[in-house]
Amino acid sequence: MMRLQILVSVFLAFVVCTGHAQKIEPTQKVAVTGAVERALEIDVSKILSYPTHGIGDLLITSHNGEPRGTKKNLKGVLVKDMLAELPLKVDSPKELSEFYLVFVASDGYKVVFSWNELFNSPTGEHAFIVTEENGVSIDKMEDRILMVVDSDLRTGSRHVKSLSKIIVGRAQ
């Protein structure tokens, strides 16, 4: 009986430990779908074709503001540059305010931005796709394709590892 209890304890410890250490598979491209005239696919080489900006070090914090780690020596491209030619279905520029973008990680984690946040506010100058971390290029980064917003007060909430798609929606 003691053996069975030990085996069950070891099994449960293994399940708990591996459950919290889930590795998210890195992504190679981002699909842009939804309320667009045509779907887009943006791969790592396309991301690297946009102007790169120095981001520096970024402290990643939880929703409570607790430190979770620091991303060092980041460089990246602005999300708004990457999506500048997004083919939205609009008859008038006024309609752009009706759009929102859902950034989805390969594990299902989602972050939502309004069109105005990215293209008509200071947030758009701080939302990046990371192209380099501490000298490691995007094609070798473990959490590629990575999106960060370096101006957020709690940076972990919009820290999207392994970005796989952006779904464009329109408020009704």
Whether the pLDDT of residue 82 is over 50: the answer is yes
CB neighbours of 117 closer than 8 A, spacing ≥ 6? 123, 124, 127
- Counting residues of the chain whose pLDDT is more than 70, the rounded percentage is 87
99-105 and 127-133 beta bridge pairing: unpaired
Question: What is the rounded CA–CA span in Å between residue 65 and residue 76?
Answer: 24
Q: Are 4 and 19 in contact (CB under 8 A)?
A: no
Arithmetic mean of pLDDT over the chain: 89
Question: What is the rounded CA–CA span in Å between residue 59 and residue 79?
Answer: 20
Q: How many CB atoms lie within 10 A of CB 14?
A: 10
CB neighbours of 2 closer than 8 A, spacing ≥ 6? none
pTM, 2 dp: 0.85
**Residue 39's pLDDT is what?**
94
Tokens representing 143? 């959490």
| pLDDT tens digits for range 10-58 | 444 444 444 444 678 899 999 999 999 999 999 999 999 999 999 999 9
Options 1.10.1740.10, 3.20.20.120, 3.40.50.150, 3.90.420.10; CATH for 25-170 is: 3.90.420.10
- Counting residues of the chain whose pLDDT is more than 90, the rounded percentage is 80
Q: Are 163 and 145 in contact (CB under 8 A)?
A: yes
**Residue 23's pLDDT is what?**
79
| pLDDT tens digits for range 140-158 | 999 999 999 999 999 999 9
**Residue 89's pLDDT is what?**
83
